[in-house]
Amino acid sequence: MKKNINIAVIGCSGMAKGHMKGVVENEGATLYAICDKYEELVEEAKKEFGAVKGTTDYMELAADPNVDAVILVVPDKLHLPMTKAFLEAGKAVLCEKPMALTVAECEEMMRIEKETGGFLMIGQVCRFTPAFRKAKELISEGKIGELCFVESEYAHCYEKSRGRDDWRVDPDRHGFIGGGCHAVDLLRWIAGNPSEVYAHANHKLMPDWPVNDTSIAIYKFPNDVMGKVFVSIGCRRNYTMRSVFYGTKGTIICDNTSDSMQLFVDDGVDSDSYKTAEIIPIDVNNHNVGSEIKMFLDALIGGKESPLSSVEGASTVAVCAASVEAAKLGRPVGIVYPKA
């Protein structure tokens, strides 16, 4: 691969602008093009970030030989058709989470990736969130011993986050998949692939929303680890992904919006040692797309495999979809994972 990657960002929302900033701040990349359905958004973002080209037609960028890679920051239902168009045109793709809204769509994306020999990375950004990276590091070092219970949550209110043209208000877009994929992906990254889920859901906070707004899911993770994910798209509180990791020697409490995290450790000497938390300062960088883009670029420039692969993205969607299904059926559901 060449040493400088020409990137096109599709979508011009606030989140997309985070990606544009991530591109211009990373070495080895040029923000070559910007695209959105709405011309005024393209013009505004072009002015702000200085892209060479702007268009309202993404197919124009698929046909442009100057585009090496694209970042898709568009409604979830467009992830499959846009990934298809760009992979078939030989462009590398970084696609926002969730990879897609169904396992079947994810499998179709994986099939196209294989057929074209293309490069597809999924933007599960929590793997780049400083607090969660620190938690994973501490767990890997054995600081809290062996894991026994892990929990995370996606507590949000979508009243003002309906998406342009209300695309989030869609019976096919369950909050557990669209937003809950963050919490599920975090637990998968830390504790592995759960084999079974049992769940409940209700519809009290956003009664006009077309699907249940609040869910709780319980998982069986490998090595006899238990897990829980709470997802709500209607809570009256600030957005958070409060997460707790319980181990045989200690506990970590952290989230993605606080400037510190707590570490409780039993030092094996003082019987009260674990009752006082060590407060670890944390850089609050919830949407750390700059690091995500750096990893994307490093892999492209170094000729490496996708660092956050389609199998990873699809496995997270598989867990989320099984959780929605379990709540509907009112019984435990075995989780089937897509194969590479």
Question: Does 97 contact ligand NAD by CB under 6 A?
Answer: yes
- Answer yes or no: are the C-beta atoms of 55 and 67 closer than 8 Å: no
Kindly state the tokens that stand for 93: 């793709």
Select the residue whose beta carbon is closest to ligand NAD and give its number: 13
Hunting for tokens 């170094």 — which residue is that?
A: 302
Question: Does 203 contact ligand NAD by CB under 6 A?
Answer: no
Alpha-carbon separation of residue 26 from 61, 188, 283, 287 (angstroms): 21, 28, 19, 15
Question: Does 13 contact ligand NAD by CB under 6 A?
Answer: yes
Question: Does 34 contact ligand NAD by CB under 6 A?
Answer: no
**Rounded Cα distance, 270 and 19, in Å:** 47
Question: Does 220 contact ligand NAD by CB under 6 A?
Answer: no
User: In terms of residues, how long is the chain?
Assistant: 340
Closer residue to ligand NAD in complex, CB, 194/313: 313
Closer residue to ligand NAD in complex, CB, 36/153: 36
Question: Does 184 contact ligand NAD by CB under 6 A?
Answer: no
Closer residue to ligand NAD in complex, CB, 35/299: 35
- Answer yes or no: are the C-beta atoms of 307 and 299 closer than 8 Å: yes
- Total number of residues that touch ligand NAD (CB under 6 A): 26
**Rounded Cα distance, 21 and 7, in Å:** 12
Question: Which SS3 state, helix, strand or coil, does residue 120 take?
Answer: strand
Using CB under 6 A, which residues numbered 227 to 286 contact ligand NAD? Answer: none
Question: Does 58 contact ligand NAD by CB under 6 A?
Answer: yes
Query: At its nearest, how many Å lie between ligand NAD and the CB of residue 197?
Result: 22
Kindly state the tokens that stand for 199: 């769940």
Helices 289-301, 14-25: inter-axial angle, 10-degree rounding: 50
Alpha-carbon separation of residue 314 from 17, 88, 123, 220, 223 (angstroms): 25, 20, 12, 19, 22
In this chain, which stretch among 9-17, 183-191, 306-314, 319-327 interacts with ligand NAD, using CB under 6 A?
9-17
Helices 103-116, 310-329: inter-axial angle, 10-degree rounding: 160
Question: Does 42 contact ligand NAD by CB under 6 A?
Answer: no
From candidates 22, 75, 118, 247, binder to ligand NAD by CB under 6 A: 75
Which residues make up the interface to ligand NAD (CB under 6 A)? 10-13, 15-16, 35-38, 41, 58, 73-76, 78, 96-97, 123, 125, 163-164, 167, 178, 287
